[in-house]
Amino acid sequence: MKILIVSQYFWPENFRINDLALGLTERGHEVTVLTGIPNYPAGRFFSGYGFFSNRKQDYHGIRVMRVPLVPRGAGGGFRLALNYISFAVSASVLAPVLCRGNFDVIFVFEPSPITVGLPALVLKKIKSAPILFWVQDLWPESLSAAGTVDSPWILNMVNRVVRHIYKKCDLILVASRAYIEPVRALGVDISKIIYFPQCAEAIYKPVELEEDAPERSLLPEGFRVMFAGNIGEAQSFDTILDAAEKTRRIPDIKWIVVGEGRRRVWVQDDIKKRKLSGTVRLIGQYPVESMPRFFALADALLVTLKKEPIFSFVIPAKLQSYLACGKPVVAAVDGEARNLIREAKAGLTCAAEDADALAAAVISLYKMSADERHAMGQRGVRYYEANFSRDVLIGRLEGWMKDVMSSSRADS
């Protein structure tokens, strides 16, 4: 098949769509990606990229076409709106010129913003190709939950846009089962909604590090509780730092953050204010290929989210990576993610934003034997392989693409 992926984010930005595109290419499909100039999460263009440089690239056989956008900057509401709208407009205008030829299907990756669907609708009209829309983030709910937008007028307008996009898509894939009802409530026929969770990249698996591995020198000695990913509003870093304060009486417990994001400076300043520099360490962002090596040095892997109804629907993408790497998970989350960890018996959980319970869970893991923690991690690996295997999930996607392609041709 000739597959066009529309995604505001793509390599060298670290998103799961990168590996999905590679997986489809490995199966012999011709993949083109329409995307923006990389600027996530730092908010500025990656080195070597700009409005007039690296606009067309090849990524392991994938044709990458980039359109200009306004970088997200510090991630404030107005700047984010410009970032989202600029991609939607430039991609809608330039896509017909950049993405020449015919495509069998259009696949949209939507972790936010929903406006990524607009250029896909333009291309559907021009190319007469069906759209599979992969929902990672519910709009407009996520806008209000993250504190980005609180205007009822704007949220109502976004709601209408979401309804329009969903209506025009041929298949809606949802990354969490909890998304099915909210999507259906927006007027989508239940037969068009399919649960399609994220898988982790193939590199995520248990690894043994050599004694002189450079990652060892970056981490403090002790019982390492490691958070990996975006340092943002949704991740409730207040809860992490509150819990870290409560475990400070056990100097051996160390909290490590691997990643970047718009709250990085705030977190760094708060660590200093709380005098937690000996307990919490931010080590910055590293390539995705390095993450299994860092995870191998962790005693527990941490996931947190704010206490908002929308976040109880979410399965954070990092959770699959954690499970695949065979380490126990400790989580302060509600809903789907919490249920998943408990079902897998792969760690300890507590309610979102409950710093006391999170600290207690970390201390419980600390007091467990290494064998008990290892058993938890192995249960996570088995659960991952049974439910989130890359080959199985990409195979399912391939089948759905062929089905909508056949239905589209039969209707035309």
State the pairing for strand pair 62-67/56-59.
antiparallel
Do 145 and 275 reside in the same domain of the chain?
A: no
With H, G, I as helix, E, B as strand and everything else as coil, classify residue 158: helix
Asked if the bond preceding 214 is cis, omega within 30° of 0, the reply is no
Question: What is the phi-psi region of residue 326: left when phi exceeds 0, alpha when psi lies from -120 to 50, beta otherwise?
Answer: left
CA 356 vs. chain centroid, Å, equals: 27
| Whether the Cβ atoms of residue 267 and residue 282 lie closer than 8 Å to each other | yes
d(CA 382, CA 388): 10
Distances in Å between the alpha carbon of 4 and those of 31, 90, 144? 6, 17, 31
In a domain, 204, yes or no: no
What per-residue confidence (pLDDT) applies to 202?
85
In a domain, 205, yes or no: no
> How long a stretch of residues is the chain?
412
Please count the structural domains in the chain: 2
With H, G, I as helix, E, B as strand and everything else as coil, classify residue 357: helix
What per-residue confidence (pLDDT) applies to 146?
57
Do 173 and 128 reside in the same domain of the chain?
A: yes
Helix (H) or strand (E) holding 269: helix 264-273
What per-residue confidence (pLDDT) applies to 144?
64
Whole-number CA gyration radius for the chain: 21
d(CA 274, CA 237): 13
In a domain, 355, yes or no: yes
What per-residue confidence (pLDDT) applies to 158?
87
277 phi and psi angles, rounded to 5 deg? -60, -30
The single residue listed with the structure tokens 């329009």 is: 164
CA 325 vs. chain centroid, Å, equals: 17
Do 399 and 341 reside in the same domain of the chain?
A: no
Do 193 and 224 reside in the same domain of the chain?
A: no
What per-residue confidence (pLDDT) applies to 298?
98
What per-residue confidence (pLDDT) applies to 412?
60
Per the structure, the complete domain to which residue 132 belongs is given by: 2-199+389-407
Q: Which residues pair with 350 in a beta bridge?
A: 332
The single residue listed with the structure tokens 């992969």 is: 134
Do 248 and 354 reside in the same domain of the chain?
A: yes
* 10-residue averages of pLDDT along the chain (412 residues): 98 94 97 97 93 92 97 85 95 94 96 94 95 93 65 84 96 95 94 94 92 94 97 94 98 97 94 97 94 98 94 91 97 96 98 98 98 98 93 94 86 65
What per-residue confidence (pLDDT) applies to 145?
62
In a domain, 209, yes or no: no
Do 80 and 222 reside in the same domain of the chain?
A: no
SS (H, E, C) 99-146: CCCCCCEEEEEECCCHHHHHHHHHHHHHHCCCEEEEECCCCCHHHHHC
Tell me which long-range contacts 282-285 makes (C-beta under 8 A, separation of at least 24): 282/231, 282/257, 283/218, 283/219, 283/256, 283/257, 283/258, 284/258, 284/259, 284/260, 285/41, 285/258, 285/259, 285/260
Do 189 and 237 reside in the same domain of the chain?
A: no
d(CA 62, CA 33): 7
| Maximum pairwise Cα distance, the chain | 68
Helix (H) or strand (E) holding 405: helix 390-411
Do 117 and 172 reside in the same domain of the chain?
A: yes
In a domain, 25, yes or no: yes
Do 297 and 342 reside in the same domain of the chain?
A: yes
In a domain, 106, yes or no: yes
Positive or negative, the CA dihedral 41, 43, 48, 51 is positive
Give the CATH number for residue 153.
Answer: 3.40.50.2000
Other C-beta atoms within 10 Å of 217: how many? Answer: 7
